[in-house]
A and B are shown apart, each in its own frame.
Chain A
Amino acid sequence: MANVKVNINRFKNLCFVGLNKVEFHPEGGDVMFAENWMDLIDDQARRSMMLGFFAPRDLSGDPMDPEEVLTMGQHTAEDSTFNFIQQVKSISLFDFCRIEKAAPNTVNILVVADVIFHWDMNDNFVTPTTPESWVRDVTDIINQYPRQTARNIYTAWDTSLAQEELKDIKFHNLREMPLDSGMWLNMPSIQEKYANHSLVAGIVVALGIYGFLYYQSGTITNLQRQVQVAQQRSGGVSDLRTMQQKVNEVENFQKHGSIFSLILKDVALAIDSAGFAIDAFTIENPSPTNPADALIATLTSKENAYRGFAQEEAISKAILRNSATITAVRKPPAPNALRLTLEGLIPLSDVSRDVAEYQRIARANQKETPAEEAEKAVEPPPNAPVESATP
């Protein structure tokens, strides 16, 4: 996996472990030096601290055990490993010997604690130094490189005098030191880095969803209460469908009410007017279980009253002509060939319409008649005596 840059400023406290000396940069404080880093650092400082050290490779080419470097060879007890792990648990460990190689034709130098650490495009090196001799030591190192080589020094030490002697070198603050993830031995994984965030987010999401569902259930409870109240107020509408069916049934049956006798009279008059030799007649709803749209009038003649098509046709037409309600006549297959049977169709909607029209005209005539009578009552009769002629 490719190394990524790590910003050194993410760490509030910086601690560099040299060969025999430790340099500690607390946040907002003065630089401190000591022989053991554990003496300098308290629990507060551990929380956001970079602990840089130099663990050179052994003869087999493998990096040294950081524990050995950081304990400075003082640990011997078996339980010291456990103690060490406990000590560095919350500290970010950076092994500078695992730093990425420098750009071509560039040499970078880090001066901290009692060490000059420099690295170029090939390798990195650790050189012991002291505050008194570091300028000379740096000069010796630089002299190993061609003049055109770019040179960078990262240090927090006083460089006012050194800048005069080391003119071709670019001085940088220690906080500008480039770090990469390859140096970070205990770099937290995404899971470790965002563990608390994830847990908090999970709890927040769960609580949010719970809250929203609680609000939603409140809405449901409110609606259910409204439904209950509405049901109580509406009372017995549970059998509304039955009620509607019954009302519809009664209304449909009553739609053409009280015209049955009128139809009967009309058919009887038609029989009489046409001179039909009647024996029996029936008027019925062909489907009594349903409200009638039409009635059927069945007329049966006396025996041998009509013979042949000419007589039957003529009397049928006469019936049709003399009835105001029968709109069509047919001769059904009759069980008794000696009697003529005719069936007349009586559409009830037409009859109801005609009856309603007749009733409207009759009511209008009834209103006019009293008015005319009143006018006649006011006018004196032509032969009425003149008032002035009376004594």
Chain B
Amino acid sequence: MRDDEAIEKVLGALRATASPAGMERRAVNALLERLGADGVKTARSWSMGLLSSFSGGRAFGLRGGDLAAAGVIAVLTVVFAVARSQHRPGLGPTDAAKAEVSMQVRAPQPSPNSGRGDDRALPAQSDHRTLPRRATREMTGVSLRVRAATITSYPAPVAPLSAEERMLLQVARTGGPEEIAMLDPVARAKEEAEGEAEFERFAGQSRHE
């Protein structure tokens, strides 16, 4: 291989590298885990953001003391929502946050033209009835609208062989017919019988001579 060929081969391989199957799904799962981990912090910052976005409360005729009271009420509301979600049976703090995120998972919308209507729905539909939508928005800040129609679930890809393993395979398995036959007892017996018959033929010819 010449230098030019090596350069083009390397650059071409970098260009042709395909992303692993299911990478998008795993990325979304990582985001869900992340949201589950800092859901409470997000809720606090989101509620403060909402307060500040009300132009200091003047638009609603609030004065300084009223604004402070409104802030306390908002924080208490969020704390109440968090406490309520954490006390739901069967859900820990992380699970509760995940459930609130997955609540916004939309059901697949099979399009008549897309041809992808057979994609699987995510198992989160029942949560629509059990959790308040507004609380979810405040908890997560960002809606993860996981579109099951476009992101399907894949198992983790098979780990590729290492360079050493591949070289070992090349050395150990030349793939010749004799080697393959030795792995099959029936074929091996047949091969031995043929060898024996050939030897007998050769021995017979030698005796005649």
A and B interact: no
Interface residues of B (CB under 8 A from A): none
Interface residues of A (CB under 8 A from B): none
